[in-house]
Amino acid sequence: MTPTLYEWLRQSPLTGIFLTLLAYRVALSVSRRYHGHPLANTVLVGAGLLIVSLLALGLSFDEYFRGASFIQFLLGPVTVALAIPLYNNLARLKRSAFAILSSIVVGSVTGVASAVLIAVAFDMPPQIVLSLAPRSATTPIAIGVAEAIGGIPTLAAAFVIVTGIIGAVLAKPLLTLLRMNDDVVLGVATGIAAHGIGTARVFQISETAGAFAGLAMGLTGFVTAVVAPLLVHFLLS
């Protein structure tokens, strides 16, 4: 490739958009080929393929993100759209509102407390512990919370993504193992533990699970923003 052509490839937003769509399309095929096996998760495979191709092409994340930011931008409107499946499940939501809200509070507290306690047990430095605390919340909330309690915002964002992928991969097998086959339970637990990435995953399993995951994700964000600073202060003092 000539230097000017390579320069264009690194500068153009087209590269990032095209590579992301291509990686996702291949990940979809892999997921279908293995009949939706948890490890064939589309975010995991897609991001893995993308990392490999960025390294192969010698592109930095910033260069890639020039185009990929357009795709990431759509997360906003799609989050708003979660209101529709939720409304379709209004009857079930009304019937179990108390149980769902209670488990979201319990789950948010567990999300923060388990990360802090386990990280302290592994003797992690305080800044890392504080960046781990909000990892069950969605990225923008986690960044805000990490900043407020003295963690490293960008590191917190990375923990959020890894948490989401782990949750998306493990949720269904874990609940099947425990013989919990209710779509509402799958959805709420995944939304609490694995925010948007988990929500995207359970949407592939059922619309009901996806709707409840979306609701749980949103509320877990609220609760984490309120509870994390208090809980961290209490646990670390």
Partner 1 sequence: MIETFLWLLGYQFAGELLARSLGWPIPGAVLGMLFLFLTLCLRKGIPDTLRHNVPRLMTHMSLLFIPAGAGILAFWPLLAERPLAMAAVLLLSTLATLLISALTLTLLLHRQKSRKIRS
Residues 82 to 111 in contact with partner 1, rule: CB under 8 A: 82-88, 90, 96, 98-100, 102-104, 106-107, 110-111
Closer residue to partner 1 (CB): 3 or 45: 45
Closest CA to 16 of 56, 50, 52: 50
Tell me if 178 contacts partner 1 by CB under 8 A.
yes
Q: Degrees (nearest 5) of the Cα angle 215, 48, 204?
A: 35
* Min CB(12)–partner 1 separation in Å: 16
Cβ of 60: how many Cβ atoms within 10 Å?
Answer: 9
Closer residue to partner 1 (CB): 3 or 73: 73
Cβ of 113: how many Cβ atoms within 10 Å?
Answer: 17
Closer residue to partner 1 (CB): 214 or 231: 214
| 190, 209, 227, 231: residue in contact with partner 1 (rule CB under 8 A) | 190
Select the span of 3-11, 32-40, 56-64 touching partner 1 (CB under 8 A): 56-64
Closest CA to 175 of 82, 213, 183: 183
Rounded Cα–Cα distance for residues 136 and 213 (Å) = 13
Closer residue to partner 1 (CB): 5 or 32: 32
